[in-house]
Amino acid sequence: MDVTFRRTGERRYAVIVQASERAPQVMDPAPGFDAHIPHDLVHYVVEAELGLTTGVFGRAARGGGTFVAVGSTDGSARERARARRKQQRREASLRSVDEQRHDDLVTSERLAAVSDLFWRRRQGQVPDATRPAPSSVLSRGDAERVERVVARLEELAPLWNQLPVGGELVFTWPSAVPRVAR
């Protein structure tokens, strides 16, 4: 599966997921734009770098998740309803399998937030003095995993920042190293 992070405007980006057997799926606009590194790119790096196969992007690789098939909003109301029901059935099937591995999604959310915060602090952003430092709640294992993710974010952020509107980073799941940066 290819995962593309495309800068679609000065303050917008899209995430495109392309599995070989299925139509491309897209989230456009994707939430959490950031000029330095978008939220979903941090999530992708956490899941790819740490091998979390049942998180957001692992689910997308298996046909589930929050991405919408390109063209799914075209066509008649009947076709859109059929596509929506098909996606709901796929989600229900994946949910039953993933309930046993729900930890990947929870871990992805938690470590993405912490990794993003640690990366920003390394970039010189001042922490909010009213909030406790998350390092006090990290286990040794989590601290090592966050360090791996932050190191990868330090490599990717300059690539993202250099992208013009229309530029993109393309990854092959589950690699956290971009195959294309244009």
Full domain range(s) for residue 65: 2-181
Asked if residue 132 has pLDDT above 90, the reply is no
pLDDT recorded at residue 99: 58
Q: At what angle do helices 140-162 and 39-50 cross, to 10 degrees?
A: 130
Residue 63's alpha-carbon distances to 1, 23, 66, 123, 139, in angstroms, are: 10, 10, 10, 36, 33
Question: Residue range 75-85: average pLDDT?
Answer: 65
pLDDT recorded at residue 63: 73
pLDDT recorded at residue 14: 94
Q: What confidence category does residue 70 fall into, taking pLDDT thresholds of 50, 70 and 90?
A: low
Q: Report the range of poorest mean pLDDT among 38-42, 64-68, 107-111, 151-155.
A: 64-68
3-state DSSP call for residue 172? strand
pLDDT recorded at residue 111: 92
Percent of the chain at pLDDT exceeding 70:
74
Question: Residue range 125-143: average pLDDT?
Answer: 73
pLDDT recorded at residue 13: 95
Of 58, 65, 57, the C-alpha closest to 87 is 65
Question: Residue range 30-53: average pLDDT?
Answer: 91
Q: Report the range of poorest mean pLDDT among 46-60, 92-106, 167-181.
A: 92-106
pTM above 0.85, yes or no: no
Domains in the chain, number: 1
- Residues 84-104 have pLDDT tens digits of 676 666 666 656 555 555 678
Kindly give the residue spans of alpha helices, DSSP state H, lying in the chain. Answer: 39-50, 56-61, 77-98, 103-122, 140-162
Q: What confidence category does residue 137 fall into, taking pLDDT thresholds of 50, 70 and 90?
A: low
